[in-house]
Amino acid sequence: MKNELYDALLVGSGTMSTTLATLLNELDPTLRIAMIEGLDDVAQESTSGWNNAGTGHAAYCELNYTPQNDKGEVDISKALDINAAFELSLQLWSHLVRTGSLPEPAQFINSTPHCSFVWGEKNVAFLRDRYHQMSTHHLFEGMEYSEDPQVVERWMPLIMNGRDPQEPVAATRMSRGTDIDFGALTRAMVNSLKRSPAFRLILGTRVQDLKQDDNGLWQVGVRNTATAETLNLTSRFVFLGAGGGTLPLLQKSAIEEASGYGGFPVSGQWLICKDPKTIAAHSAKVYGKPALGAPPMSVPHLDTRVIDGEKALLFGPFAGFTTKFLKQGSVLDMPNSIRPGNLRPLITVGLKNMDLTRYLIKETLQSHHSRMESLRQYLPQANDQQWSLADAGQRVQVIKRDSKGNGSLEFGTEMIASKDGSLAALLGASPGASIAVKAMLDVLARCFSRQMQLDSWKERLQVMLPSYGISLIDDAEHLQQVRPLSLTTLGLAKATPQAINPVSQSVYAHPELPLAPANDTSAVSPTPDECPRSQA
């Protein structure tokens, strides 16, 4: 059995782990990084283009990010946070394109308008209020709104074709929306990482044991699924970014911060269009309001996609109930995750969410005809023969213990880190890959706090992310400086004289600032007896 030492070991090869590996490699190319993936290729679970919405969640169209409070008022605070986080992702991808680490942007990101569509007077009133609040904020500048059926028809002709002309409708449209093939993006990022001698990708291998030794180092036992060969890896820092597989690994770590956490798995399915004419006739992502009792990840949308270079049209996702934590997982995943520390939270969440469970089971038992009836609410002329059902990705929602020892069901993402900062894990699903950069910056702040204070790291972060440390929610002027360059570099907007402004020219004129030399220990990896712990 071999023993190899790494500065960072990342479990899972999806967008989250790959983004963290990319940030670390950009900040310090001498850091020794290993990525462990249980499948035979990267980005095959939730990151795969067929397993997620690919919306590039910017909160332009997703109505579940702008809920109404008890007074009926629309709250856009979550939408602001998500949009600002998505801008950071655009900035990193833009930087990687400029430096040649990512290929031609059209291979992974394409302009696709983001639209919201509702019908009925009550829903129209909601969307009108939402538009008025969002359109006055600089992050959502450019959002369009209409209750005119002819205008809505220009935006989404198939949706208006065959609809009752007397029915009140309303729609918003954001032309700078995107479609993202996160599978293609992640594979390209991994291919770039593989060019670094300090990076190692280990496929077809699963983590068996995870234990911290007396020196604070993590001893990680892994096993090749094909050959049964075992390997022992030692790492100063471990990141668990295995999607639905994260919770069992977090429990293996035995850190006290993991106590009380559980997982509630939700499966998904798409209706996929097989008719080329229908696919060609729709070019937008159109989101509606979720059905009563539906979980947030089941917000219905008619979704133009470009996956592996081919245009596709999907509708869904239809939720379902399963005990698997991964699409290629086991039905024993959920039962095996039960521990004394999370038993009460699991039971209380189950009792409080019986309606949700019944809803998911009902969704699972739907016929093709009933699913098509759901589609026809958005596409009145939909033909049953032109659509087929396919499995989408698996999502595991977070169950956490509250102050009373009971459980609460969370539908966002949550980062958990050990007290010493030597291990971090990401649980949850939405908004997921779209905010990967913001999520991984949070990991760096918690687990590499000493290095994040170094001038060399700060300079590199400013090059990669021009708005790092600046609130795009509050600073409209800075947004106008950084957004045009991101959009132009990624092929999402035509170049304009304002795309590069005098303030940012000095930064972008030097895409490769020099790093500290390898023997400068103040700016590179920790010494052998030092973990990348959080320091006050």
Residue 512 lies in a domain: no
**What does the block give as tokens for 396?**
């595991």
C-alpha atoms less than 13 angstroms from C-alpha of 134 in its C-beta half-sphere: 34
Instruction: Tell whether the model's pLDDT for residue 505 goes beyond 70.
Output: no
Is residue 425 within 8 A of residue 507, CB to CB? The reply is no
Looking at the 3D structure of the chain, how many domains does it have? 1
Give me the pLDDT at residue 55, please: 77
Give me the pLDDT at residue 49, please: 86
Give me the pLDDT at residue 238, please: 98
Residue 466 lies in a domain: no
Residue 476 lies in a domain: no
User: For 322-377, where are the E strands, in sequence order?
Assistant: none
Cα–Cα distance for residue pair 301/180, rounded to 1 Å:
15
Give me the pLDDT at residue 434, please: 92
Instruction: Tell whether the model's pLDDT for residue 523 goes beyond 60.
Output: no
Indicate the range of 166-180, 215-229, 311-325, 444-458 predicted with least confidence: 311-325
Closest CA to 65 of 84, 50, 51, 46: 84
Sign of CA dihedral 273, 13, 192, 495: positive
Cis peptide before 197 (omega within 30 of 0): no
How many of the other CB atoms lie within 10 Å of CB of 106? 14
Give me the pLDDT at residue 407, please: 84
Instruction: Tell whether the model's pLDDT for residue 18 goes beyond 90.
Output: yes
Q: What is the per-residue pLDDT across 388-403, written as a single tens digit (0 to 9) for each?
A: 999 888 878 888 888 8
Cα–Cα distance for residue pair 18/190, rounded to 1 Å:
7
Cα–Cα distance for residue pair 145/139, rounded to 1 Å:
16
For residues 488 and 428, which has the higher predicted lDDT (pLDDT)? Answer: 488
For residues 536 and 471, which has the higher predicted lDDT (pLDDT)? Answer: 471
Instruction: Indicate the residue type of 190.
Output: V
Q: What is the per-residue pLDDT across 92-130, written as a single tens digit (0 to 9) for each?
A: 999 999 999 999 999 999 999 999 999 999 999 999 999
Give me the pLDDT at residue 295, please: 63
Instruction: Tell whether the model's pLDDT for residue 201 goes beyond 80.
Output: yes
Q: Please provide the DSSP assignment of 363-418 as one string.
A: HHT--HHHHHHHHHTT-TT--GGGEEEEE---EEEEEEE-TTS-EEEE-SEEEEE-
CATH number for the domain spanning 45: value is: 3.50.50.60
Cα–Cα distance for residue pair 316/302, rounded to 1 Å:
7
Q: What is the per-residue pLDDT across 399-456, written as a single tens digit (0 to 9) for each?
A: 888 888 888 888 778 899 999 999 999 998 777 899 999 999 999 999 999 999 999 9
Going by pLDDT thresholds of 50, 70 and 90, the confidence category of residue 499 is: very low
Query: To the nearest whole number, what is the mean pLDDT of the chain?
Result: 87
For residues 327 and 197, which has the higher predicted lDDT (pLDDT)? Answer: 197
Residue 82 lies in a domain: yes
C-alpha to C-alpha distances, 26 to 460, 511, 514, nearest whole angstrom:
8, 11, 11
Indicate the range of 347-361, 368-382, 444-458, 468-482 predicted with least confidence: 347-361
Residues 6+ apart with CB under 8 A from 334: 263, 265, 323, 324, 325
Q: What is the per-residue pLDDT across 377-389, written as a single tens digit (0 to 9) for each?
A: 999 999 999 999 9
Q: What is the per-residue pLDDT across 123-165, written as a single tens digit (0 to 9) for each?
A: 999 999 999 999 999 999 999 999 999 999 999 999 999 999 9
Cα–Cα distance for residue pair 60/131, rounded to 1 Å:
10
Is residue 82 within 8 A of residue 434, CB to CB? The reply is yes
Arithmetic mean of pLDDT, 165-185? 96
Closest CA to 55 of 80, 89, 78: 89
Closest CA to 391 of 46, 47, 48, 51: 51
Cα–Cα distance for residue pair 344/463, rounded to 1 Å:
47
Indicate the range of 275-279, 298-302, 306-310, 413-417 predicted with least confidence: 298-302
224 lies in which domain range?
A: 3-405+408-438
The residue length of the chain stands at 536
Residue found under tokens 């070991």: 9
Instruction: Indicate the residue type of 337.
Output: S
For residues 230 and 293, which has the higher predicted lDDT (pLDDT)? Answer: 230
Give me the pLDDT at residue 293, please: 61
Residue 318 lies in a domain: yes
Residue 461 lies in a domain: no
Instruction: Tell whether the model's pLDDT for residue 276 goes beyond 70.
Output: yes
Instruction: Indicate the residue type of 352.
Output: K
For residues 335 and 536, which has the higher predicted lDDT (pLDDT)? Answer: 335
Residues 6+ apart with CB under 8 A from 516: 456, 522, 523, 524
| Ramachandran angles phi, psi of 327, nearest 5° | -60, -40
For residues 528 and 256, which has the higher predicted lDDT (pLDDT)? Answer: 256
Q: What is the per-residue pLDDT across 28-73, written as a single tens digit (0 to 9) for each?
A: 999 999 999 999 999 998 888 888 877 778 999 999 899 998 888 9
Instruction: Tell whether the model's pLDDT for residue 529 goes beyond 70.
Output: no
